[in-house]
Structure 1
Amino acid sequence: MREKFKVFYEPTEEESSKIWADSQTIFILDTNILLNFYRYSQETQDEFFKIFKLIEDRIWIPFHVALEYQRIRLEVIKDEKEMFDRIEAKLKTIKTSVSNSFSEFKLKTRNPNLFNMEEKFKEEVCSLIDRFKAEVNDAGKAQPSVRTHDEIRAKLDALLEGKIGDEPEEKWVTDVAEDGATRYENKVPPGYKDESKGNEGSKAVFTYNNIEYERRFGDLIIWKQILEHLRELEGIKNVIFITDDIKEDWWEIVQCDGAKHIGARTELKSEMYKETGIDSFKMYHSDDFLAAAENYCGISINDKALEETKHVFDSWNTYLNETKKYKIDSDAVIEWQNFFSNIEKYKTDNDTASKLQGILSTVENYKTDNDTASKLQGIWSIIEKYKTDNDTASKLQGILNSINNLDNLDNLDDE
């Protein structure tokens, strides 16, 4: 039965060991694997490159993976740099808060003994904050900058030299888009979970070398390039695809004490086997890839690298999933700006609530999904709290700023 229904089976331990050792196995990296190097510590990066060194003759990436990496790289670097800036700002706020937190009690005159303990407490806490800040500064300096030499890219350049697929012709890209429209309509994996990227106006497409690419078809283009490469490549029996994508259009997911990723979608395996004639197709997340390399390559992987890889994988995908809940459409920021401008007009009126209710009704016109109304109702509840305050505008500006931050996801979620 296993032979007839092989798409429902994952390789056994014995089979996996042979696959990893087999010279006829190809290892393919997804875009997010390359970009996550900018989110790892130097130690974890070194662990990955140690593995890549062992399999470097069997590594390959599709052209579109390399293109997405080059397009998004600077945005990821910028985000990582900004994270360290935000940490420093938070530490400054905490330090100021600690320094001023007891002043209202006037302990120096009311209870000198407690005042001395307070001073010692503040000194120790501020010293701890300063030490943490120094560590943050060191970590920030170790991160690549958008304008300086990128050591990570230099290593990837060396690793992937001669191992990148050919650039497609314009007709090929157009044909994939036409096929993709039909596949997505019928929920054929991969990529249909990115259908919403087609509703993002000018950001729904990008151009490279005079060829226009629709972002919603990014995963499908990668998949098609993998299939095409394997059809042209002789002597390949096994494919290992390393990706940190978690969407259901790549993985068989079972809800059992949380979402469990069982393996590649059976439709993907079926298409892979039918189109290329290979024997085995296996997908790994980055943390599972490290663990498998330790198991099958006979090398030692730092436990901290395993922990960090899993943490980056979990936290990044949680961030994307949570933030995407509140994306409405490509014009959301403009529409919310108009919303805020209208609120500005009414900020000092006594009947703010009734006028804001009118604005809310207008915002209803911008609905593009089923639960938009409930999301807007949540914002309305916040507005209700501030309806009689003179500083309504500044408080609502905070809401607008949060919404504006969603715009940064447009490129990052191509990973």
Structure 2
Amino acid sequence: MEPNVSSTVGGIFDGFEDYRTPSDDDYRRIFKAGLVVFDANVLLNLYRFNSTTRRDLIAVMQGLGGNLWIPHQVMREFWRNRESTLDRLNDGPRESLELLEKANKTAENAVSAWSKKIALDDARKSDLMDKLETAFRTVREAMIAQAADDAAEHARDTNADTILSTLASTLANRVGSALPSEDHAAALIEAERRIAAQEPPGFLDADKTNEDLRAGDYLVWEQLLREAEQRKCDVLLVTSDVKDDWWSRVKSDLRGPRPELAAEFRERAGSRFFMLTPSEFVTKAAALTSVSVNPRSAADIERVGNPLNDPLPADVAFEVVERLFNHAIAVNWHNLSGSARMRDLSALVDDPAIGGVLQNYFTLEGTRAWMKDTLNRHFNYALKGFGRYQHLVRMRHQTPQEVIAAACGPSWYVVPDSQGLRPYHCLASDGSNSRYVCWGPERSFRDLLFAAMNNHSTEQERSAVVILHGDAVDNAQHYRDMATQAGVDLVFLEEELKLNLDYAP
């Protein structure tokens, strides 16, 4: 008797398309017959790039021809933020010159203290001070001259703005229409639902005070989906927004769109959805198209796209982070509303012991960005026992070792150097056997299950998923059934906040 044969057959990627790594052929196809979409942050950063990098990015955009498309919401955000972008560019030189003056005073005081210590004669001291003043004046004048050149390009008058003029010709007949009023109203409601449910994209914009601002990412997504449905083609989104409500990560590496977004796109448009940062996009375009690009442009885009590249000494960072963490625990930061977070962040910027210290190293904009990143990302990592600042938080949730003990038993331990983020995971061992374990909140169950399935090895015991929860889990049996079907162990662990025994300020 012949064995039973399933009526449907497929390959290893059928139903798992979101795990396929994009190839150069995929990008060639998009450049020739797909849709390439740029986010507002990329367009606004044209004002911040040097002239060579700006020219290269514009050339690549122009080379896309009819495959270039901009959602209406992107242009709305561009116009909404253009003036503030120009303000920050104009403030940048002033703030940098103030920092330079502080450095000049510090250097003068150092020379004076040293000269007193060694009883240096007045003539020699005066000569050193003159050289110091000459050096700082040379740098100061160069900065002022560069700022004047930049200001000439960044004209507020739209008729005199050369960057805007080039962008206007490049995007002519390439910008989509706004959603009809009824559809726009429905999109605002859906955006709020996704934020509450922690569904991508845009749920990390919950701290924005205005409903329209909170819905910005989702409006871009909905307009992009509708255009893809009409054109029936693959889409590449180029964005400097590297938040986790858009991107899938392995440790700190961006690995493309979140699986939920790729699946939703495939279901609605019947095509594939790709994402690249601007620097990655320029690198790909230089390699796969006929457009000539300066090799240094990608590096310049990377530098401009990340406002947190400014150096901060480790000892200063640790001191400020400890104060931020203690404050976050005191005000219960994670449970603050979006408007309350904004007010709290403004107060922290004005705090001499926190914002005042950081402004010795960052601009005002950079200070705010650094603190927001620390509170929204690193504070969460530290609470879970991860990251370089985990020893600076007084209270924390269960450590990775405590999670492993709950999932596998007291004889199991975390394998050294195996811990990772997104999702939280590690290898566990009892000395003879090993297994992959990942954990997170109930809303991340599908991501956790995929990670457990994807990281299982035949040499290991069954992978395990741990759902961390506060209140009772409503769908516990449903999750157990899914885990059983996937061949994964499932454990529910009530999350607790307790003293951090490794606290070492």
TM-score w.r.t. length of structure 2: 0.57
Task: Measure, in 2, the Cα distance between the counterparts of 1:371 and 1:85.
Answer: 34
Which one of 127, 130, 136 corresponds to residue 137 of structure 2?
130
Partner of 2:254: 261
Which one of 23, 45, 52 corresponds to residue 12 of structure 1?
23
Partner of 2:189: 178
Contact 2:70 2:174 in 1 (8 A): yes
Q: Judging changes above 3 Å, is the alpha-carbon distance between structure 1 residues 222 and 110 closer, same or farther for their aligned structure 2 residues? A: closer
Q: Which letter does structure 1 place at the counterpart of 2:240?
A: D
Which one of 208, 223, 226 corresponds to residue 224 of structure 2?
226
Q: Judging changes above 3 Å, is the alpha-carbon distance between structure 1 residues 324 and 223 closer, same or farther for their aligned structure 2 residues? A: farther
Q: Judging changes above 3 Å, is the alpha-carbon distance between structure 1 residues 83 and 184 closer, same or farther for their aligned structure 2 residues? A: same
Contact 1:293 1:299 in 2 (8 A): yes
Q: Judging changes above 3 Å, is the alpha-carbon distance between structure 1 residues 292 and 171 closer, same or farther for their aligned structure 2 residues? A: same
Written as runs of structure 1 = structure 2, the 5 A alignment for 1:13-92 is 13-20=24-31, 22=32, 24-92=33-101
- Asked if residue 118 in structure 1 is aligned to residue 83 in structure 2, the reply is no
Which one of 141, 144, 153 corresponds to residue 148 of structure 2?
141
- Asked if residue 166 in structure 1 is aligned to residue 164 in structure 2, the reply is no
**1:51-72 CA distance string (max 9 Å, x none):** 1221133211100000001001
- The 3-state SS of whatever aligns with 1:303 is coil
Task: Measure, in 2, the Cα distance between the counterparts of 1:270 and 1:397.
Answer: 44
Contact 1:74 1:146 in 2 (8 A): no
Task: Measure, in 2, the Cα distance between the counterparts of 1:165 and 1:399.
Answer: 47
Partner of 2:276: 284
Q: Judging changes above 3 Å, is the alpha-carbon distance between structure 1 residues 409 and 325 closer, same or farther for their aligned structure 2 residues? A: farther
Partner of 2:425: none
- The 3-state SS of whatever aligns with 1:315 is coil
- The 3-state SS of whatever aligns with 2:47 is helix
| Residue 315 (structure 1) shift | 2.5
| Residue 2 (structure 1) shift | 2.4
Which one of 364, 369, 382 corresponds to residue 334 of structure 2?
369
Q: Judging changes above 3 Å, is the alpha-carbon distance between structure 1 residues 406 and 130 closer, same or farther for their aligned structure 2 residues? A: closer
- Asked if residue 216 in structure 1 is aligned to residue 223 in structure 2, the reply is no
Task: Measure, in 1, the Cα distance between the counterparts of 2:365 and 2:25.
Answer: 46
Partner of 2:479: none
Contact 2:308 2:366 in 1 (8 A): no
Q: Which letter does structure 2 place at the counterpart of 1:281?
A: F
Task: Measure, in 1, the Cα distance between the counterparts of 2:206 and 2:323.
Answer: 16
Partner of 1:301: 293
Q: Judging changes above 3 Å, is the alpha-carbon distance between structure 1 residues 95 and 182 closer, same or farther for their aligned structure 2 residues? A: closer
**1:236-268 CA distance string (max 9 Å, x none):** 52211100111111111111xxx1111111111
Which one of 246, 250, 258 corresponds to residue 250 of structure 1?
246
Unaligned runs of 5+ in 2: 1-11, 312-316, 338-343, 345-349, 373-505
- The 3-state SS of whatever aligns with 2:177 is coil
- The 3-state SS of whatever aligns with 2:293 is coil
Contact 1:78 1:146 in 2 (8 A): no
| Residue 286 (structure 1) shift | 0.9
| Residue 102 (structure 1) shift | 4.1
**1:267-316 CA distance string (max 9 Å, x none):** 111111111122x3211101101111111114443233222111122235
Q: Judging changes above 3 Å, is the alpha-carbon distance between structure 1 residues 127 and 106 closer, same or farther for their aligned structure 2 residues? A: closer
Q: Which letter does structure 2 place at the counterpart of 1:215?
A: L
Task: Measure, in 1, the Cα distance between the counterparts of 2:249 and 2:34.
Answer: 25
- The 3-state SS of whatever aligns with 1:196 is coil
Q: Which letter does structure 2 place at the counterpart of 1:73?
A: R
**1:316-340 CA distance string (max 9 Å, x none):** 5899xx9999999xxxxxxxxxxxx
Partner of 1:196: 207
Task: Measure, in 1, the Cα distance between the counterparts of 2:355 and 2:263.
Answer: 46
| Residue 190 (structure 1) shift | 0.8
Task: Measure, in 2, the Cα distance between the counterparts of 1:161 and 1:406.
Answer: 32
**1:72-128 CA distance string (max 9 Å, x none):** 111111111111011222223333444565456777x9544xx44434433333332
Contact 1:10 1:282 in 2 (8 A): no
**1:183-225 CA distance string (max 9 Å, x none):** 333322111111222xx3xxx14xxxxxxxx211110000000
Higher relative contact order (CA 8 A, sep 6+): 1
Contact 1:31 1:66 in 2 (8 A): yes
- The 3-state SS of whatever aligns with 1:253 is strand
Q: Which letter does structure 2 place at the counterpart of 1:274?
A: E
Partner of 2:268: 275
Contact 2:115 2:125 in 1 (8 A): no
Greater CA deviation, 179-188 or 268-277?
179-188
Task: Measure, in 2, the Cα distance between the counterparts of 1:314 and 1:215.
Answer: 21
Partner of 1:341: none
- The 3-state SS of whatever aligns with 1:32 is helix
Count of aligned pairs between the two proteins: 330
Task: Measure, in 2, the Cα distance between the counterparts of 1:5 and 1:39.
Answer: 39
Task: Measure, in 2, the Cα distance between the counterparts of 1:186 and 1:104.
Answer: 59
State the superposition RMSD in angstroms: 3.9
- The 3-state SS of whatever aligns with 2:163 is helix
Unaligned runs of 5+ in 1: 206-213, 329-359, 373-378, 380-395
Q: Which structure shows the higher helix fraction?
A: 1
Q: Judging changes above 3 Å, is the alpha-carbon distance between structure 1 residues 106 and 51 closer, same or farther for their aligned structure 2 residues? A: closer
Contact 1:242 1:284 in 2 (8 A): yes
Contact 2:248 2:254 in 1 (8 A): yes
- State the percentage of identical aligned residues: 19
| Residue 5 (structure 1) shift | 1.9
Q: Which letter does structure 2 place at the counterpart of 1:141?
A: A
Greater CA deviation, 310-319 or 263-272?
310-319
